[in-house]
Structure 1
Amino acid sequence: MKICLREKSFAEGVFILEDDMPKKHTTNPLLIARVGWSNGSQTVVLPPGCRFADSVREVFIRREGERLVLTPRPTDWSGFFASGVKTSADFMALHERLPIQERVV
C-alpha cells in the first residue's frame, strides 16, 4: 500500500495523506511521498515542491478519518492574535475559579 500526498493548500502548508489512490485521472497530478522507518519512528519523505519552509521545525497532526493532516506549528502566536479570533461569551463559564493561594516565602 502506498501513501499518496495530495495538495490541500500550499499557502497554508496543509497537506493530506491518504491511503487510497484516486480511481480516475485528475487535472492536477498527484505526487507520491515515500513512507519508511528511522530509529523506530515512521517517516514520510516529502517530494520537492511539497516541503515545508526551512523555518518549520514542528507540525500539528490531526486525523480526519483515514487522512492525516499536517499543519506547521507557529513559532509565535502574533499572527493568531492579530487575526481577530474571538471566543464565545461563555468560554470560561464551566471552569471553576479558585481562590488565590496564600504562600509563605
Structure 2
Amino acid sequence: MKNLEYKGYTGSIEYSPEDSLLFGKVLGIQGLISYEGETGSDLEKDFHEAVDTYLADCDANGVKPEKPFKGSFNVRVSPSLHQKAALLAKEAKVSLNNFVAEAIRLRVQKS
C-alpha cells in the first residue's frame, strides 16, 4: 500500500528514521491535515481520526470541507509545447482539454 484511503481522502505514508515514527498528510487539499503513528495500524487509526476531526470541525463551523482531486487543475508548459499540443488536438478534432486528459490517461495506465 502506497497511500491510505478514507472517506474520499488520500493520505501519504512517510517514515522518519530520526524519530522512528511513521507520519503523513492528506494529499490533494490546501489545508494541512497530518497524522502519525509508531506502527502501520497506529498510522491508519490516526489518519482516520484526523479526517474525522477535520470533517467534524468543518461541520461545527459551517464550512464546506475541501474535496481532494476535484478533476481540474492548471498546467504550465512552454509556449511551443502548448502550440504543438493545440495543433495536434485540432488535427484530431478534439478539444485541448480532451487531448491532455487522454495523454495523462495513457501515461497513468503505463504506471
Query: What TM-score does the superposition give when structure 2 sets the normalisation length?
Result: 0.24
Q: Which has the higher strand share?
A: 1
Larger Rg: 1
Higher relative contact order (CA closer than 8 Å, sequence separation 6+): 1
